Amino acid sequence: MARAVTTRRKTINTVAAWAIGLLIFFPILWTILTSFKTEAQAINDPPLFFFFDWTLENYAIVQERSNYMRFLWNSVIIAGGSTFLGVIIGVPAAWSMAFVPSRRTKDILLWMLSTKMLPAVGVLYPIYLLFIKLGLLDTRFGLTIVLMLINLPIIIWMLYTYFKEIPGEILEAARMDGATLKEEILYILTPMAIPGIASTVLLNIILAWNEAFWTLNLTAAKAAPLTAFIASYSSPEGLFYAKLSAASTMAIAPILILGWFSQKQLVRGLTFGAVK
């Protein structure tokens, strides 16, 4: 039986949830607000919240100076491609670990995660040299592969957690009915794990979209994604906060919109298996 929740408690919870939500969202809100200020207003002391002369000047400057669409397209390909490849590899890997575990499965899972504990800069030089040898510097393909490898442990871990929640008996029944391994994964497991896969995909697109170490170090002019677009608006001598904020807002807008429309899937996926 559900516990009775008083109206007062509900109100407190709602207010607390909104307060925490606003606190987390505040830096993004501030960036968006700053993007509509002049450079002088952006650094005004005391800071200006809503009462300033709103202007679209920064967006016009950014549009004129940079080829936004090229950066956006690179981001879409790199984030989408690396996630797609990661899921293609991650689903069978997670299946085998969840349903036919061996003695070493737990160790392998931990070992995979250990690669995330190494500071990225520690392997920058070897990877840079490899990229030179293979002709992958400043290519979308090279960056897609690197981001896929970086995010693969997370993809496998997330999928493994979701797959563990699916009763093995259902897959067993499918096998009894004569399903092949491919059919079992494609037609039985995948449809049942859709929320989990969807949230894995979304989270990895977000991670790849925001990745700023490899994308800045392994690209120059051709494959540079939106992270490089943002970085180009920081200035050593001169005011730049408003223009930088406009560039940032343009860079995060697609992912914010994607997150907004898919928040149901995302929350459902992230809490999948939390309550049984």
Residues at the interface with other proteins (CB under 8 A): 39-40, 43-45, 65, 124-125, 128-129, 131-132, 137-138, 216-217, 220-222, 224, 228, 231-240
Q: In the numeric block, which tokens belong to residue 113?
A: 């995660």
**Cα 97 to Cα 166: distance, rounded to the nearest angstrom:** 13
Could you tell me where the beta strands, DSSP code E, fall in the chain? none
**Cα 179 to Cα 187: distance, rounded to the nearest angstrom:** 9
Smallest distance from the beta carbon of 230 to other proteins, in angstroms?
A: 10
Residue nearer to other proteins on the CB measure, 232 or 262:
232
Smallest distance from the beta carbon of 128 to other proteins, in angstroms?
A: 5
Smallest distance from the beta carbon of 138 to other proteins, in angstroms?
A: 6
Residue nearer to other proteins on the CB measure, 157 or 229:
229
Let me know how long the chain is: 276
Smallest distance from the beta carbon of 227 to other proteins, in angstroms?
A: 11
Residue nearer to other proteins on the CB measure, 169 or 237:
237
Q: If you ran DSSP here, which 8-state letter would residue 179 be given?
A: -
Residue nearer to other proteins on the CB measure, 230 or 252:
230
Residue nearer to other proteins on the CB measure, 137 or 148:
137
Sort residue 38 into left (φ over 0), alpha (ψ -120 to 50) or beta.
Answer: beta
**Cα 178 to Cα 158: distance, rounded to the nearest angstrom:** 29
Smallest distance from the beta carbon of 19 to other proteins, in angstroms?
A: 27
**Cα 18 to Cα 28: distance, rounded to the nearest angstrom:** 15
CA neighbor of 208 nearest in space, from 68, 118, 80 = 80
